[in-house]
């Protein structure tokens, strides 16, 4: 199964008050690089597309770009990022398909620094066990949320998304059939929107 990774890194940082991808979780390790590095290190992804803002200088990504020996990492600027997460997801899919349509895409958020190979494996394996599925996503209570593996049957609906619905809107659509995977730890759902979130993430990473 050919799988492309899509990292959504073009979001807004209103609650943080400053661009968050450059905030350090550890010395020399920006938040964005932490998550992107985990995606790139995951061997089951043929390619990783990082969707970024057009004005992003990508300094936060330098530690990972330097380690990309195989040319698997691609940056895709989303001109319409301010119109909602849907456009970032659409941009990522379009870039992934430019290299040959994958069988599925693995979507993660750039401010989820604690995703790991075990969790990503569990998503792929859940999807592979039942190919009638449209997706496999993480279970958060009764909700489905990223990281999520979206099969090719979802590519058409992704292309029609608008606004802030993004992947979560698709995962909640009753017309889509999915499997929910329970992460080993709720740490997988840590995302960073506020200074307090950042302090917690720094503590967890130690």
Q: Are 146 and 108 in contact (CB under 8 A)?
A: yes
What is the structure's pLDDT at 41? 94
What pLDDT, in 10s, does the model give residues 105-128?
A: 999 999 888 899 999 999 999 999
Query: Over the chain, what is the mean pLDDT?
Result: 88
Segment 184-200 shows an average pLDDT of: 76
What pLDDT, in 10s, does the model give residues 80-92?
A: 988 888 999 999 9
Q: Is the pLDDT of residue 3 over 80?
A: yes
What is the structure's pLDDT at 83? 87
Q: Is the pLDDT of residue 198 over 80?
A: no
Q: Which domain holds residue 151?
A: 3-205
Q: Are 191 and 109 in contact (CB under 8 A)?
A: yes
pLDDT confidence bin for 13, thresholds 50/70/90: low
What is the structure's pLDDT at 72? 92
Token pair 């998503």: residue: 123
Strand (E) or helix (H) holding 73: strand 73-77
Q: How many domains does the chain have?
A: 1
What is the structure's pLDDT at 162? 84
What is the structure's pLDDT at 200? 80
Segment 57-64 shows an average pLDDT of: 92
CATH number at residue 125: 3.90.550.10
Q: Is the pLDDT of residue 79 over 90?
A: yes
What pLDDT, in 10s, does the model give residues 158-188?
A: 998 887 767 778 888 888 999 999 888 777 7
Using DSSP, state whether 181 is helix, strand or coil. Answer: strand
Alpha-carbon separation of residue 169 from 8, 144, 174 (angstroms): 15, 10, 10
Q: Is the pLDDT of residue 23 over 90?
A: no
What is the structure's pLDDT at 134? 96
Q: Is the pLDDT of residue 11 over 90?
A: no
């Amino acid at each position: 199964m050919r799988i492309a990774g899509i990292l959504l890194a073009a979001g807004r940082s209103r609650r943080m008050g400053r661009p968050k991808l450059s905030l350090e979780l550890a010395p020399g390790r920006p938040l964005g690089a932490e998550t992107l590095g985990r995606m790139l290190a995951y061997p089951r992804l043929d390619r990783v597309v990082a969707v970024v803002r057009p004005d992003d200088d990508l300094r936060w990504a330098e530690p990972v770009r330097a380690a990309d020996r195989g040319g698997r990492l691609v940056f895709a600027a989303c001109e319409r990022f301010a119109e909602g997460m849907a456009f970032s997801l659409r941009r990522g899919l379009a870039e992934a398909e430019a290299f040959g349509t994958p069988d599925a895409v693995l979507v993660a958020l750039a401010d989820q620094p604690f995703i790991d190979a075990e969790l990503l494996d569990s998503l792929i394996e859940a999807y592979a066990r039942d190919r009638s599925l449209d997706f496999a996503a993480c279970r958060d209570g009764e909700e489905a949320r990223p990281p999520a593996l979206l099969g090719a049957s979802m590519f058409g609906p992704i292309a029609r998304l608008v606004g802030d619905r993004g992947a979560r809107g698709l995962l909640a659509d009753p017309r889509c059939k999915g499997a929910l995977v329970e992460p080993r730890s709720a740490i997988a759902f840590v995302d960073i929107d506020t200074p307090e979130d950042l302090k917690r993430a720094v503590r967890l990473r130690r």
